[in-house]
Structure 1
Amino acid sequence: MRRTVTPPVLFILVCGLVLVSGMAEVWVELRAPRFVVHKHSAVLRCEHNVDPEALYKVVFFKNGQRIMKYVRERDPPYEIYNFTGAQINLSKLSPTSLTLETLDFTASGPYACEIALETPLYSKVSKIHELNVIVKQRYRPKIKIKHKKLLSSEHLEATCQSAGAHPAPHLTWFINNVKVDERLTVPYGTVKLQRHSHHGIQLSMTNSSLHFPLTTLQLAPNQTVEITCLSTIPSYANDGEGYADVQNHTVTVNVIGIEPAPTQLPVKIISSELNFSTRCELNRILIAILLLACHFGRVIL
């Protein structure tokens, strides 16, 4: 027996398919800085492509726990939850943004946001966004060089030590503003500074060494070479943000060039006049020998 679909049911099915396909195109993203300096502030924005008139609820989370909830048409529309590590600025609240002030280290962690629609009933959660509270470096890294005057055939040896920070900085070497191949560097890891802390957090420093063959450079005689140690948090610059913290130190080394050894034996160059006179003398000797040979030939005969 063949079943028939009545127009009302068909209308509901079609509407449901349209809604499902429409919801698949909804996106939501939590945008916030990845690194925030200790005791500074950060703005968290829950961005989406839903019509504001259709937005019913927005929730911000940290470690899966609610921080703030907004529900349209409620009085009051905002609900604030217990949250340690920062202060929520109530005067800057909006349905899709949250301002955290005086961030402490406990504010570090994973954050997310969720949006919800009432008609149709639908909700979507953003991807996790990691926020880290940092302590900046107070001074530039220190470079130590074994020899500040080298032959162009020798290896450049140097060490670099960062200032204390949280987290430990990342070190990158440059020679004449060109990044050095990491295979020519030796990272010695990080060291916690026992006597240096910041509001109870132990700071850490990073050490690295460089062993660079100067023969790989096209150097003129008695040229100087610039060595730079770049100390950053994090190890790479973020798109649109750059580094959260950056310090650098540059020193110069004098390189003494070595004259290349001769590639062939010395050759004596004879002038063209000397060559002509020598040829004439040889011709006269040959003519004399021929005349003598003809004379002795007639005598024998």
Structure 2
Amino acid sequence: PFRNYTTTGSVIDLSLSDRHQVLLTNLHFDASGIYTCEVSTEKPIIYTKPSEELEITVIRNQLENPRITFRKPEYTVGDWLQVNCTSASARPTPYVTWLLNGNKVDESLIRSFTEQQPSSVTAQLTLQLTEEYVDSLELTCLATIPKFLG
């Protein structure tokens, strides 16, 4: 026989679950956690054996690209460039990476803070503009969910 235990943050689809698999539907973030299955017998002796543990993480992908905003519209050599990259809302909260002319920017030039919008983050890049950036300054902002780049 198959016994159904209640789960938080999901619904077990009994029509597609059997003794080999369990299908969880309507997943919410509360469903993230460690799962195990358990096999029990009653006759001739009572015996219970749990499966290995499996961690499940429920994610919500970003529905929009990150947004780049500049502190002011024009800069000249010697100015301090301040530019923000704000991720779309996602869960877990995205991690923002800045690229300058295709190269990852040193973390010491970046200050990150969470937005009021849940699960969104802004990373502010502050950089003094030198002559080397006069002809070529390409900024790229990447917002990724760690472990789920896939």
Question: With structure 1 as the length reference, what TM-score do the two structures score?
Answer: 0.40
The residue aligned with 1:97 is 21
Larger Rg: 1 or 2? Answer: 1
Q: Does 1:223 align with 2:138?
A: no
The letter of the residue matching 1:150 is T
- Return the alpha-carbon distance in structure 2 between the equivalents of residues 166 and 90 of structure 1: 28
CA positional deviation for 1:209: 0.8
Post-superposition shift, 1:100?
Answer: 0.8
TM-score by length of 2: 0.71
Q: Which residue is 2:108 aligned to?
A: 183
Counterpart amino acid of residue 232 in structure 1: T
> 8 Å contact 2:60–2:91 — kept in the other structure?
yes
1:164: which partner in 2? Answer: 89
Rate the CA distance shift 1:237–1:106 in 2: closer, same or farther, 3 A: closer
Deviation at 1:183, TM superposition (A): 1.3
In the TM superposition, what is the alpha-carbon distance from 1:186 to its structure 2 partner? Answer: 0.9
**1:227 Cα deviation after fit:** 0.8
1:211 aligns with 2:126: yes
Deviation string, structure 1 residues 83-139 (Cα, Å, up to 9, x no partner): 34222223332434221111133323322345689xxx894642451x333443332
Contact 1:169–1:206 (CA under 8 A) maintained in structure 2: yes
Check the 8 A contact 2:98/2:104 in 1, yes or no.
Answer: yes
> Separation in 1 of the partners of 2:17 and 2:105?
47
The one of 119, 130, 144 equivalent to 1:232 is 144
CA deviations 1:233-271 (Å, max 9, x no partner) are: 2xx244xxx25xxxxxxxxxxxxxxxxxxxxxxxxxxxx
- Aligned pair partner of 2:76 in 150, 153, 173: 150
Q: 1:157 to 1:82 in 2, by over 3 A?
A: closer
Kindly report which structure 2 residues correspond to 1:61-72, keeping only aligned pairs within 5 A, or say none: none
Q: Paired residue for 1:32? A: none
Q: 1:182 to 1:204 in 2, by over 3 A?
A: same
Structure 2: state its 5+ residue gaps: 42-46
Could you say if the C-alpha distance between residues 157 and 192 of structure 1 is closer, same or farther in structure 2, counting changes exceeding 3 Å?
A: closer
Identity %: 33
Distance across 1 between alignment mates of 2:76 and 2:144: 29
Deviations 1:202-231 (CA, angstroms, capped at 9, x unpaired): x3321221123455x9x4x85232111212
User: Any conservation in 2 of the 1:172–1:230 contact (CA below 8 Å)?
Assistant: yes
> Which structure dedicates a bigger proportion of its chain to strand?
1
Structure 1 gap segments, 5+ residues each: 1-76, 194-202, 244-301
Contact in 1 for aligned 2:81/2:127 (Cα 8 Å): yes
Would you tell me which structure has more helix in proportion to its own residues? 1
